[in-house]
Amino acid sequence: MRAISGLWRWRRNPLRRGTDLAEAWVGLLALLLILVVGPVIGSVTGGVAQDALQRSVREQQESRRLVTATVIRKLDRSPLDADPEAASGRDVRSRVVADWTAPDGTTHKGTVMAALQTPHRGDHFSLWTDFHGRIAARPLDSATATTHAVLAGTGAALLTAGLIEGGRRLAVWRMVRRRYARWDQAWDRAGPDWGRTGTGS
């Protein structure tokens, strides 16, 4: 917006300084860079993130399997915990000792979190494992990966815009500092005689 409001600096005007025109060009260049370069960098970053995340989704879905586990016993004095991987964050889970059969046919037994509010011996629940039966996190789904990629692209575009605006502000600040330094020098030259009658005669 500063570039648009500063269009008056291009008009011919006897009071226009060279730095006014330079500030206007810097503002216009920054605006063009924000409108062109920011979206390009955001799009490229989002595309790269999308490719990497979708590859990770495929790898996780290929290497993890949902198996059925059987409750052996509930652990005493185990507080109910919320499932950190659940969409709502309110899915109640209980700590139990259970056994399960891995995709490779081996049997396993261990302490796990079961998606059961009141587990009893013999209850069944689902559990994510790798091919060897080791407990694994739920695999990333495609929609979540896409959301992360969009956020990465948006963040990159906003960061680019912020850096460009920061560069514009720095350039204008330096121009203003130089202008003030020239004014100080001019004032030092004119200062001793300022306001005296007959100055310059």
pTM higher than 0.75 = no
Tokens representing 161 are 């815009």
Tell me the pLDDT tens digit for each residue of 11-47: 566 656 677 778 888 888 999 999 999 999 999 999 9
Confidence of residue 93 (pLDDT cuts 50, 70, 90): confident
Asked whether the predicted pLDDT for residue 200 surpasses 80, the reply is: no
Mean pLDDT of the chain: 82
**pLDDT of the residue at 183:** 80
pLDDT surpassing 70 at residue 159: yes
Q: What is the DSSP string of 14-25?
A: TT--HHHHHHHH
Question: How far from chain centre, in Å, is Cα 68?
Answer: 37
Report how far residue 56's alpha carbon sits from residue 67's, in angstroms, rounded to the nearest whole number: 21
Between the alpha carbon of residue 169 and those of residues 27, 174, 178, 181, the distances in Å are 9, 9, 14, 18
Strands 81-82 and 92-101: antiparallel
Write the pLDDT tens digit of every residue in 105-128: 899 999 888 888 888 898 999 999
Span 90-97, mean pLDDT?
75
